[in-house]
Structure 1
Amino acid sequence: MTPARLFWLATLCCALAGAVLRAKGLHSPIFDHPGWRQGDTAAIARNFALLQYNPLYPQTDYNGPPPNYVELELQIVPFLAATLYKLAGVHEIFGRLISYAFGVATIVVVGAFGRYLFRSAIAGVAAAAAYAVLPGAWYYSHTFMPDTAMVFFTTCALYACARWIVDGDGRSWRLWLPAALLLMVAFLAKPVAVTAAIPVATAALAAFGLRGTVTRAQMWALFALAFVPLAVYDQIVSSHAEWHWASGITKLHVLPSLAGALTSVPAFGAKAVAFGHALKMLATTMAGPVGIALAVVGFCVPLRSRSDALLWGWLGGGLLYAYVVVTVERVDYYLYILLPLAALAIGSLAAWAKERWGDAPPRRATLAGIAALTWLLALGVGYRQIAPYYGWSRVNYVRAKTLDATLAPGALVVMGHYDPSILYTINRKGWEEDPHLWTPFDEQSAIRKGARYFISVEHARLKQTNLELYCWLDRFPLVDPAAAWPVYQTDPALVKTGAEVRWRAFRKREMAGAYAGWRREWKTAPNPC
């Protein structure tokens, strides 16, 4: 067997192992971690299929009656899922399978990338084997989210850009086209991918120098094709979106946090602590303790790649994103873009070890045994990090499905709980709100807009912390008084007799201070309404 065929066989075996690992949880409801993000993604896919089959109009299930357009990245995974929904019906597993396919394909791309960068088949196979068991890549490859697709396209784009810069001297239009198109799709797939511009730029500067980089028309064309469609898409979606998530989070949280860190010593210290927490997430649920240790060593070994600048630029871009964004939005999958880089660093370590100690057959066998044991250790330790993520509440799922079968079809609801996955499973549109913050005035407004049910998912918290709303809702009958999630029928035609009189009496008692100690006494106190 030729070395090339042997490499591809080994890489495909790594991909097969990764595929087996990633199959866990494929049939689970979207209640596993992170249910709130998967709930949004699944809702957008279903709304593409059933309401508006247009990728420029993503909409969620909440914030009132539809349409509820949101400002988000180009919804590649939801739109592909919606296309399958139109052919075979709405089944969330299609969304998981799309991510799954992108996740397994990334293993192969990482292997080919490592082989090319380090001129070593060993580096490529080791990188593919490492990526197959990095816990973050392993887990998130089965979730109904856009991140795995983004990582796939970003990895492909950086691979294509590396080949264009190194092999094409930055002037080949033939190699330019796949690099530019992949970079464009990566940017559209999720904005975090724009950090890939940093390794591309550093690789070009290292290869051609400043003057050679800025005088190449292909470089300007590359970034134009990557950034302009993203800007145009964002402008289109922002023009009709009600929820401005990306720009809103950036303006209200990310930029003020960064400005504070640059102008205030206490804020700088707080951001440094948050950055440490981000790195801890990278070292645990994303790269895993074994993976992060091997990756750090891999960056330290004296093995030159075809573009060291690209690797260091990738690291710098990822860490910069972590410092600016992940210190504010503290979710581990925002660090996903660093995982292919970690796998490549592990590949470089394997290639260096083989060059340094593996010439004689007995040594090669010893190194192979060490590599196998290390891989198994990484697998076991990594799984321990992500095992809790697979858990989901069967009780909540059954309750949500029961409401789907019970409530009037197409009814607008108010759900007293923040969790798009539950609202998605109830299969109704309306509002999801914190029962502590929602007021009778908010509820009246929702009723005037058509809300016909209030689903009290956090009923105990509602009664304990928002007695005013709890007693105001008492004017409406319950669908099932014995239900764990009481559902009030908020149709104005169903208001109980004497409800307004009881409400005014409650307000008088409240103003007189009758409920000052309610938080402490609510479990034993008589019904206040």
Structure 2
Amino acid sequence: MKKSEIKEIIFLISIFITAFFLRTYKIDNPVADWHSWRQADTAAVARNFATEDFNIFYPRSQIEDLDNPNRYFLNEFPLYNAVVALFYQSFGVQEKLARLVSVFVSSLTVVFLYLLAKQYSSKLIAFLSALFYAVLPYNIYYGRVIMPDPTFIFFSVLSLYLITLWLNKEKRSLALVSGFSLALAMLTKPYAIFLGIPIAYLVFKKWGIKSFKKLDVYLLALIGLIPLGLWRYHINLHPEGMFGSKWLINSTNIRFKGAFFRWIIFDRLNRLILATGGFVLFFQGLVSKRDNKEGLFYLTWLLSAAAYISYFAMGNVTHDYYQMPIVPVACIFMAKGFDVLWQKAKDGFSTLFNRGIAISLVLIMLAFGWYEVRGFFNINRWEIVEAGQAVDQLTPQESKIIAPYDWDPAFLYQTNRNGWPVLRNKDELQEYILRGATYYVSVDFNDQTNTLKNACSVLKETEKFIIIDLQECDFAKIK
């Protein structure tokens, strides 16, 4: 093995360990930090796989619904949830294990981003791309969440790398493996279909119009698309388990309005994700000269991310984690921008000045980025965790719980019970009781809670929460 290869292996191991270590920050957090509602949904499916029926084709939520009596949670294929459930079955239900799965795949993405960028750019740009992806504060947080998105990003980057190898070596086995990886990406998140833009570019760059005569191209497409098609067909047979997602596309007609660009470019890319310093490097890389090996690959990859963001306009404006697909290619453009500043100076002073600017921009990115995301790790309401633990200890396992928390299922998740995350009125309460609700738990001593407290038996009350037994209520006192 050559000395350069040994150094490269050492670097890859080092960057993986660095990324992994950074993402273990507050790894023991309960499911009550930023975007707890989405994490709770994902975590509940994994927990139910481990403790109820492990049927990957019928994932189950914790939320009871008259129209969905089986509690089906049919959206993306539950690959991530199933992997987490396997660990739960071996080591017990611990949210830390679910986070570690995301930490692992996110750290592995760093390695494959390096390998991918090295195919089209210099080793320095590949190194910087991986480094930026490893240390970007936004990425650190979203690289340890209980969500399928880190897994989706991993398979997306892996697919592009494998497709690159296939095009270079023209081996059918690589086409098949690439298709399998692409299928997993699209099953994990159907948004991966937008990767068709850079993939089509790479294929046509290689063979041009002759691409239509290549069997491997069709194999890649079929292997990648058929599993997604079958999954979509399957879940459409159970519409009661699906939830409305049309609003993600262009609710309020925000697409391409001033507010859309302000949210996506200024607030998300500039402020939150690339944190000003990285955004400057990104723009510098975007306008820098392209070499022949790179061609339009990075631009078409960026275009695919832009197309995805534009199509799911309202979803991307509403949720900051929706921009995760743009981060890998953004890190490559940041690396290119850094490389321009580092390499292109012509004399001693300009070299010192340019390199000082490059380093300063990276430091700004890290400082501003951490400032923006540090609050994401906080548990703002520890009382939902304490109340949930009390419910788990004091109520029978088969109990059904009402845990109002502004529709956020994170509170209900903490109880380790099925039930409802909202209660709007007396009629709804009676309906829930008819469907098996036995306890009400609240961390807000509002009018609703006080009314139930006066009308029903209290199982436990502290300064932080109250658990009410709905099996012993005087409904005449409830308005």
Same fold? TM cut 0.5: yes
Q: Partners of 2:370 and 2:126 in 1: how far apart?
A: 23
**Cα RMSD after superposing both structures:** 2.8
Match of 1:515 in 2: none
Distance 1:352-1:231 versus aligned 2 partners, 3 A rule = same
1:228-274 Cα deviation digits (max 9, x unpaired): 101112222332363313xx212xx24564xx84xxxxx666x4412
For the 8 Å contact 1:275–1:326, the answer to whether it is kept is: no
1:462-512 Cα deviation digits (max 9, x unpaired): 47xxxxxx7578532222355543333222xx233xx53x56xx6xxxxxx
Match of 1:290 in 2: 277
**Aligned-pair distance for 1:303?**
3.0
Following superposition of structure 1 onto structure 2, how do residues 420-439 of structure 1 map, counting pairs within 5 Å?
Answer: 420-433=409-422, 435=423, 438-439=424-425
Q: Partners of 1:128 and 1:268 in 2: how far apart?
A: 32
Match of 2:231 in 1: 233
Distance 1:8-1:291 versus aligned 2 partners, 3 A rule = farther
Aligned-partner SS, 2:157: helix
**Aligned-pair distance for 1:156?**
0.8
Match of 2:298 in 1: 311
For the 8 Å contact 1:303–1:352, the answer to whether it is kept is: no
Following superposition of structure 1 onto structure 2, how do residues 320-469 of structure 1 map, counting pairs within 5 Å?
Answer: 320-328=307-315, 330-353=318-341, 356-357=344-345, 374-392=361-379, 393-417=381-405, 418-433=407-422, 435=423, 438-460=424-446, 462=448
Q: Partners of 1:359 and 1:236 in 2: how far apart?
A: 64
Matched, 1:249 2:239: no
Q: Identity of paired residues, percent?
A: 22
Matched, 1:218 2:216: yes
Aligned AA for 1:113?
L
Matched, 1:156 2:152: no
1:36-59 Cα deviation digits (max 9, x unpaired): 111111111110011111211111
Q: Partners of 2:364 and 2:468 in 1: how far apart?
A: 52
**Aligned-pair distance for 1:124?**
1.2
Aligned AA for 1:312?
L
Comparing 153-162 with 173-182, greater Cα deviation is found at 173-182
For the 8 Å contact 1:423–1:432, the answer to whether it is kept is: yes
Q: Partners of 1:256 and 1:8 in 2: how far apart?
A: 45
Comparing 198-207 with 177-186, greater Cα deviation is found at 198-207
Picking from 457, 462, 477, the partner of 2:457 is 477
1:279-303 Cα deviation digits (max 9, x unpaired): 2212232232222221221121113
Match of 2:473 in 1: 495
For the 8 Å contact 2:60–2:71, the answer to whether it is kept is: yes
**Aligned-pair distance for 1:339?**
0.7
1:2-28 Cα deviation digits (max 9, x unpaired): 333333333433333322221211111
For the 8 Å contact 2:281–2:335, the answer to whether it is kept is: no
Aligned residues: 472
Q: Partners of 1:112 and 1:364 in 2: how far apart?
A: 29
Q: Partners of 1:254 and 1:27 in 2: how far apart?
A: 31
Q: Partners of 1:450 and 1:356 in 2: how far apart?
A: 70
For the 8 Å contact 2:255–2:310, the answer to whether it is kept is: no
Aligned-partner SS, 1:490: strand
Q: Partners of 1:359 and 1:99 in 2: how far apart?
A: 45
Aligned AA for 2:308?
Y
**Aligned-pair distance for 1:207?**
3.8
Match of 2:187 in 1: 188
For the 8 Å contact 2:419–2:437, the answer to whether it is kept is: yes
Aligned-partner SS, 1:174: helix
Match of 1:467 in 2: none
Comparing 387-396 with 369-378, greater Cα deviation is found at 369-378
**Aligned-pair distance for 1:108?**
1.1
Aligned AA for 2:145?
T
1:104-148 Cα deviation digits (max 9, x unpaired): 111111111121111x11111111111112222211111111111
For the 8 Å contact 2:116–2:161, the answer to whether it is kept is: yes
**Aligned-pair distance for 1:173?**
1.4
Matched, 1:27 2:28: yes
Q: Partners of 1:416 and 1:370 in 2: how far apart?
A: 51
Matched, 1:103 2:111: no
Aligned AA for 2:212?
V
Comparing 181-190 with 403-412, greater Cα deviation is found at 403-412
Q: Partners of 1:305 and 1:40 in 2: how far apart?
A: 45
Q: Partners of 1:474 and 1:141 in 2: how far apart?
A: 45
Q: Partners of 1:297 and 1:62 in 2: how far apart?
A: 48
**Aligned-pair distance for 1:64?**
4.2
Extract unaligned runs of 5+ from structure 2: none
Aligned-partner SS, 2:245: helix
For the 8 Å contact 2:255–2:314, the answer to whether it is kept is: no
Distance 1:354-1:97 versus aligned 2 partners, 3 A rule = same
Aligned-partner SS, 1:452: strand
Match of 1:85 in 2: 88
Q: Partners of 2:273 and 2:64 in 1: how far apart?
A: 32
Match of 2:262 in 1: 276
Q: Partners of 2:229 and 2:347 in 1: how far apart?
A: 52
Aligned AA for 2:245?
I
Q: Partners of 2:290 and 2:255 in 1: how far apart?
A: 36
Return the index of the structure with the highest Cα Rg.
Answer: 1
Aligned-partner SS, 2:460: coil
**Aligned-pair distance for 1:201?**
1.4
Aligned AA for 1:450?
G
Match of 1:527 in 2: none
